C-alpha cells in the first residue's frame, strides 16, 4: 500500500511529465526525440516505462499543474525548455507555450533566454544549478503583475 506522501510525490512526478507532453504536443505532433527526452526525464523520476507510456497516450489537455515551490517551478520550466529543444527545432507554438508557462509560474519571459543558454551549456554540477536557482529569483513577477 502506498502512503500519502509517496502518493503525493508520484502525483507530482506524473504531473511534471504531463506538462512536458503538453508542450511536446503544442506544435501538433510529438517528435521521436521529444519522446526520448520524456523517457529520460521519466527515468530520472524513477517512473516505470509503462507509466510514461500511459502519460504519452493520454495527452490530456487539462490545465498545466503549477508546482508550489520555486525550485520545483524552475526545474519544470528547465525541463520544458529541454523538451522544446529536444528535436533541435523551436516551433512558434512551443515557444508560445513556454512563454505562457513562465508567466503562469510567476516569472518574467526573460527567464526563458537564460534557461535556453543554460540548457545549451549543460549543467555540470549542483553548484551551477544552485546559482541558477538564485538568479531565477530575479525574474519573479510582482504579485500585481499576475
CATH of the domain at 27: 1.10.3680
Range of the domain at 82: 4-145
Domain count, the chain: 1
7-17: average pLDDT: 78
Q: What is the mean pLDDT of the chain?
A: 84
Instruction: Go through 61-83 and write b for each residue having 16 or more CB atoms within 10 A of its CB, e for each that does not.
Output: eeebeebeebeebbebbbbbbbb
**pLDDT tens-place string over residues 19-67:** 888 888 877 788 899 899 999 999 988 999 999 999 888 875 545 678 8
Nearest to 107 by CA among 116, 98, 118: 98
Percent share of the chain, pLDDT over 70: 88
Residue 31 confidence (pLDDT) = 86
Amino acid at each position: 500500500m502506498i502512503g500519502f506522501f509517496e502518493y503525493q510525490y508520484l502525483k507530482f512526478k506524473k504531473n511534471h511529465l504531463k506538462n512536458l507532453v503538453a508542450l511536446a504536443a503544442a506544435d501538433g505532433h510529438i517528435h521521436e526525440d521529444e519522446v526520448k527526452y520524456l523517457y529520460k526525464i521519466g527515468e530520472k523520476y524513477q517512473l516505470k516505462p509503462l507509466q510514461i507510456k500511459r502519460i504519452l497516450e493520454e495527452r490530456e489537455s487539462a490545465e498545466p499543474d503549477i508546482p508550489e515551490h520555486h525550485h520545483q517551478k524552475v526545474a519544470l520550466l528547465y525541463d520544458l525548455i529541454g523538451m522544446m529543444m529536444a528535436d533541435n527545432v523551436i516551433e512558434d507554438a512551443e515557444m508560445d507555450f513556454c512563454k505562457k508557462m513562465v508567466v503562469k509560474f510567476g516569472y518574467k519571459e526573460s527567464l526563458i533566454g537564460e534557461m535556453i543558454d543554460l540548457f545549451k551549456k549543460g549543467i555540470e554540477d549542483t553548484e551551477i544549478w544552485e546559482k541558477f536557482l538564485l538568479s531565477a529569483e530575479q525574474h519573479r513577477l510582482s504579485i500585481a503583475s499576475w
